[in-house]
Amino acid sequence: MSDISNLTDQDYKDGQILLFDKPLGWSSFQLVNKVRWLIRKNLNIKKIKVGHAGTLDPLATGLMIICTGKFTKRIHEFMGQEKEYTGTVMLGGTTPSYDLETEVDQTFATDHITEEAVYAFAKAYQGAIQQRPPIFSALKKDGKRLYEFARAGEEVAIPTREIMIYDFEITRIAMPEVDFKVRCSKGTYIRSLAYDMGKGLQSGAHLTVLKRTKIGDYSVDQAQDLVTFEHSFESRDHSKDC
């Protein structure tokens, strides 16, 4: 990756890989639009391709790979790579979206859940898993996004699909909260993992915190925030534009 403070308009057109730590509450679409706008505004570019290599929910934070110019053709390479996430599951209640986007709709007992049971679930939930995506997702069925069915209150059958969980580590248990780190394949829904955990522990659960920490060899530790990216245009070496 290049020193972003000295990138020219042609550098962005030729192609750049930009790593961002997506802020809480932002959609992936909003982040891409903001990055595109900053590049166009500061370098006087009328049109430039900018795209991301994997969506994050608005309530998730962490690593997003954003490609510009000719490198947008490489997006599929990154989308297929292994991902790593950290997060928190709240036991004892479910939500329709499997996270905090919607309110708790059912509550369940947690008194019977032992730490040993939590560790045992994580150990068993590895390898090839048949996972059912949440209805509050952007997947399409019959030409419509699943979340459109959900918001309309319509019932829809969602088939399971095989995903891979390479490693599932429990990092903290403070009932009813459980912190975790997971390495998984493309197509894994961590919200569904949280839901499955609740079900597997004869209770209910939903996701309260989620951060994507890695995509392939790229880490969130290498990522910048939007403020840093915006300031990079102010401190850049304008002599390179000549």
| Residue 221 is a catalytic residue | no
Catalytic member of 3, 9, 21, 57: 57
CB-based contact 69:13 (threshold 8 Å)? yes
Q: Where are the beta strands (DSSP E) in the chain?
A: 16-22, 50-52, 61-68, 83-91, 93-94, 106-107, 127-131, 140-141, 144-145, 161-174, 177-184, 205-215, 218-219
CB-based contact 24:18 (threshold 8 Å)? no
Contacts of residue 234, defined as CB under 8 A and 6 or more positions apart, other chains included, come to none
Handedness of CA 142, 144, 150, 153 (dihedral sign): negative
Residues annotated catalytic, as ranges: 57
